[in-house]
Amino acid sequence: MRESNLLTDFIRGKVILITGASSGIGEATARLLAESGAKVVLGARRKCKLKKIVTDINRTGGLATCRELDVTKRSDNEAIVDLAIDAFGQLDAVLLNAGIMPRSPISALEVDNWDRMVDVNIKGLMYGIAAAMPRFVEQRSGHVLAVSSVAGQKSYAGAAVYGGTKWFVRNFMEVLRMESVAEGTNIKTTTLYPAAVRTELISLIDDKQTADEMRNFYDRFAVSPARIAETVAYALSLPFDTTINEITVGPTKQPW
């Protein structure tokens, strides 16, 4: 467990739900937040991976629980919010991180992959917010953090659909912030725009040329998911009266 300091003071005791927690950014963030005293609720489809992470956290003095979650199913999103309340009595923040990136040029016509990206990256985000909102509105507080991408800020060849799903995240989160201020519900929003991070994300790319290019690129530039976890922890550590809306974060040496 980390010693108390400015960063951990506002994280300690918070109940934080993380989607896509079975690997990469979600796993790294779950481990760091638990180390910082948060109670973490982990969701993803690969339950065996989640169980191992929960066991590690609980064995080292942290508090974690998990549930199988397919973010494309509304009922799964509702059930994991219920789990957070049942297990830890409250819900303070959600990190909507689950995502897939089977990139390819439009001309490859991987229409099934387009559908999957819309389902996971867009609908998964909406369903996650819909599940947490009633609780956040009732308690007039809450923090929604969502993982977009630098592909949600700029256009990249090969990322027409992936980028589109991540532009969606930006719009939805900014409207959520504006509306929650207008409605007086005080819901904080933080959208993260990572560049290359060393995770399993590129393993789902079917288009061979795209996969080779991305692998070479990631081998050269990608940073550890722990960097993104630290950024999430920073956003969560700010006092109640301050929110950090957007963070772009990635390798110092990445040229685009």
- Token pair of 227, please? 């960097």
Q: Which positions from 127 to 146 touch ligand NAP by CB under 6 A, shown as an x/- string?
A: --------------------
Of 132, 130, 131, 104, residue with least CA distance to 117: 104
Give catalytic status of residue 162 as yes or no.
yes
Q: Minimum CB separation from ligand NAP for residue 218, in Å?
A: 7
Half-sphere exposure of 168 (CA within 13 A, CB side): 17
55 membership: H or E segment, kind and range: helix 47-59
| Nearer residue to ligand NAP within complex by CB, 11 or 201 | 201
Q: Considering the complex, what minimum distance in angstroms separates the CB of residue 147 from ligand NAP?
A: 4
Whether 51 contacts 66, CB under 8 Å: yes
Residue 140's closest CA among 254, 34, 65, 240?
Answer: 240
Among 98, 117, 187, 233, binds ligand NAP (CB under 6 A): 98
Answer yes or no whether residue 235 interacts with ligand NAP by CB under 6 A: no
Q: Is 72 in the site for ligand NAP (CB under 6 A)?
A: yes
φ, ψ of residue 52 to 5 degrees: the values are: -65, -40
| Least distance to ligand NAP, CB of residue 138, Å | 25
One-letter amino acid at 235 equals A
Classify residue 122 by its DSSP letter.
I
- Residues 24-53, interacting with ligand NAP (CB under 6 A): 24-26, 44-46
- Interface residue list for ligand NAP (CB under 6 A): 19-26, 44-46, 69-72, 97-101, 120, 147, 149, 194, 196-197, 199-201, 225
Residues that are catalytic: 162
